[in-house]
A = this chain, B = another copy of it.
C-alpha cells in the first residue's frame, strides 16, 4: 500500500500561513512527521489562491524545503497544468507523482504534453469530465477506460496510472460508498493499472469523520486499492491500513500488525 501524505496542502489554514510567511521550520516538521509515519510520497499543494505565478514560486519553495529534509519522493498537486509542469522540472528524482489529470477536454489537452515530457512519472487520474463526477460506478469506469487509453497511446505504462474514482459523501447519498467500491473493483478486474483514493470526502457532513474514513479505507484495501492520499499521522489511518492488509494476506506472519501494536502506533 503506497501512502501519499496529504498534509502539505495550501487549502489548509496552517499550511497556507506557513507558505505565506515562508516558515520553513513548520513545513519541514510537517514533512518529517509524515515520513516517520510511513508516507512513501509527500504531496505538495501550493494553491493558496494568489494566482499562477505565486503558486509556481510557492511550489518551488515547497520542493526546495522538502529537499532540505531529505530526498523524498514528491507528488506535485495542482489544478493548473503549468504549475505541475514547473514543479516537475524542479523535482530531482524520476520517482514522482502528477496529481492530477481528469477527462475534461481542455485539461487533458494541456496535460498530455507535460506527461509526454515526464513519461516515467506516476499519474493520478480522476474519473470526472465536463459533466462533473458521475454518480454511477459504470460511468466512473467508462471515464477511467478513456483516460487509460489516452495515456497508453502516449506511452504511459499501466503500472504508472493511478485511477481515483472520486468517492462522494455517504451523507449526500448512502449509495456513494458502494458506487466507489464497485468502480474500484471493476477497474482492478478489467485493467492492468493501479488505483488510489482521496479518502476523506466519503465522510463529509457526518460527525466523527475519522471513524468513517478508517472503515472505508479498510473496505477499499479489501477491494484492491493500491495507494491512498491520506494523513498517515492519524492513528486511525495507520490502524485501517495495517488491519486491512493483515486480514487480506498482505502481512507475512502478521509481523507488521504485531510490531505496530508493540510500538503503540494505534
Question: A residues bordering B, Cβ < 8 Å?
Answer: 170-171, 174-175, 177-178, 181, 202, 206-208, 211-212, 215-216, 218-219, 222, 239-240, 243-244, 246-249, 251-254, 257-258, 261-262, 266
Contact = CB atoms under 8 A, between A and B. Distances in A.
A106 B243 CA distance: 39
B215 A249 contact: no
Given A207-B261, A211-B239, A211-B243, A174 B253 contact: yes
A69 B177 CA distance: 40
Given A211-B239, A215-B240, A215-B243, A248 B206 contact: no
Contacts of A212: 243, 246-247, 257
B174 A251 contact: yes
Given A254-B206, A257-B206, A174 B218 contact: no
Contacts of A258: 206-207
